[in-house]
Amino acid sequence: MEPQSLIGQRVDVLDKGWVELVDMMPHPATGVSGDRAIVNAARVSFMGESKGDDADKKLLFYLLRNAHTSPFEMVEFKFRVRAPLITWWQWVRHRTFHFQSVNAQSGRYTPFEEDDFYVPSVWRKQAKSNKQASEGELEDEVNEAFLQQLTAHYEQSHKLYSEALENGVSKEMARLFLPGFSVYYTWVIKVDAHNLMGWLKLRLASDAQYEIRVYADAIYEHFFKPALPWTAEAFDSYILHPQS
């Protein structure tokens, strides 16, 4: 897919979430690809420009292989993301994203809709050897029973929330009735290619929590790889799947 058509594209994630590319730098309208912008930034020290695809790609691979990362900060992505709070708690731990310029949906201004809760497809079991991870799934019968209980819990919580609003309780307090970890929020967030790769390395890993791994996979497959094919190839070779 051409970078120009990536802007405005939205990819569904989880049951009600999504990732949308709002903008990127360099903008496709400039005619300069992100990969080329990285190479041009590296060559500015020598007042140089493109030397053709083969030489440029070779230089880009050299930069990433040898951890010369500053040129990769010349490319930026701006995303709009809708995700449940349990995903955002994982996301905001990364200082690499520009959280100082993030904008998020506020429950003080916007009421939550009845279906603004994350419903997992299965319940995962607690991992025996990792205190913060999960592994395997509950048996079908038990899984279905807990899903029904969760749905009933959401319905009752939203009923109390709605009744509080109808009786004049402020939105900022009525949301105390809502099950916080499962509520979906929408954020606008910005990150450069260098720091995005650091985040992807961690959140694409098999031991990353599922609810954030699927967002990392969506960003990597639908936006990062099409926008930066050379960088993605080098990233896969030297960072995601380095040769022993």
The rounded average pLDDT for each run of 10 residues, N- to C-terminus, in the chain (244 residues) is 83 97 94 93 69 93 95 95 90 61 59 81 85 81 94 94 94 88 89 94 92 97 98 96 76
CA distance 29 to 68: 27
pTM: 0.88
Residues 11 and 98 in one domain: yes
Residue that finishes a domain, picked among 162, 182, 202: 182
**Count of structural domains within the chain:** 2
- Do 188 and 176 lie in one domain? The reply is no
Separation of alpha carbons 212 and 229, rounded Å:
23
The C-alpha angle 17, 18, 19, rounded to 5 degrees, equals 145
**In the annotation, is 213 catalytic?**
no
- Give the pLDDT confidence score for residue 46 in this predicted structure: 47
CB burial string 28-56: b at 16+ within 10 A, e below: beeeebbbbbbbbbbbeeeeeeeeeeeeb
pLDDT per residue over 216-243, tens digit each? 999 999 999 999 999 999 999 999 988 7
- What is the reported pLDDT for 47? 44
Among 36, 82, 175, 203, the one annotated catalytic? 203
CA-based max dimension of the chain: 69
For the domain that residue 220 is a member of, what is the CATH number? 3.30.1360.170
Closest CA to 111 of 182, 153, 188, 164: 164
Same domain? For 92 and 152 the reply is no
Residues β-bridged to residue 17:
13
- Cα-Cα end-to-end distance for the chain: 32
Q: Are residue 197 and residue 209 in the same domain, yes or no? A: yes
3-state SS class at 12: strand
Q: Which residues span the domain enclosing 217? A: 3-104+184-240
Same domain, 38 and 97: yes
119, part of any domain: no
Q: Residue 104: left if φ>0, alpha if ψ -120 to 50, beta else—which one? A: beta
Residues 45 and 141 in one domain: no
